[in-house]
Amino acid sequence: MSKNKGFSITSAGRYSLALYELASEGDCLEQVEDQSSSILNLITSNQDFANLIKDPTSNQEDLLKVINNISEDNKFETLLKNFLSFLITKRRFFYVEQILNNFIETCSKKRGELKAELKSAKVLTSDEITKITDELAKNFSSKMKLNYKQDESLIGGLIVQVGSTMVDTSIKNKLQQIENRMIEA
């Protein structure tokens, strides 16, 4: 089993790099990246599709039909459609989520973007998110790719993580620190 996990991580990197290079050469990198994000959103939002991918007994013809229909309905680049079909015929479609996540990460790295996570207790407006992104880009002297999530359990404040740097100004964290001090006393 551990042998398969190592293979999947290694092969995901290779497949995603191959997709990146083909999309770069075909001058359709931005479209393929957007469409890859759409597929990943479909996987997370549609449990039937996610189950179809993860089911080892799925028939290749059924998977090909589903991918062809999705590709036609969403006007996917021929390169991406062919790539997904290739994964199905090589019995690697099980790793599509990992491969596409790796592909999007590769695109981001090649553009020189840093990945940042932002969590807030209240819903932030797009202007607030843009201001935070701009401030982070200025402080880290790099382009930022911000992943935003709202988390009511924080009670108030923000958590920002860029690489290994984390700033936690949430009330939940402050209450946890007070609790820890009381326990130690």
Q: What value does the mean pLDDT take over residues 64-87? A: 94
Longest dimension (CA), the chain: 65
Rounded to whole angstroms, how far apart are CA atoms 185 and 18?
57
Q: Cα(first)–Cα(last) distance of the chain, in Å?
A: 47
Q: What is the pLDDT of residue 10?
A: 82
Q: What is the pLDDT of residues 90-122, one digit of tens each?
A: 988 989 999 999 999 999 999 989 889 999 999
Q: What is the pLDDT of residues 137-150, one digit of tens each?
A: 999 888 898 999 99
Is residue 1 predicted with pLDDT exceeding 60? no
Is residue 86 predicted with pLDDT exceeding 70? yes
Rounded to whole angstroms, how far apart are CA atoms 28 and 42?
21
Q: What is the pLDDT of residues 26-67, one digit of tens each?
A: 999 999 999 999 999 999 999 999 999 988 888 899 999 999
Q: What is the pLDDT of residue 2?
A: 45
What 3-state DSSP class applies to 143? strand
Ordered by where they begin, the domains of the chain are 2-109 (1.10.520.20), 113-184 (no CATH)
In the chain, the amino acid numbered 28 is: C
Q: What value does the mean pLDDT take over residues 10-39? A: 94
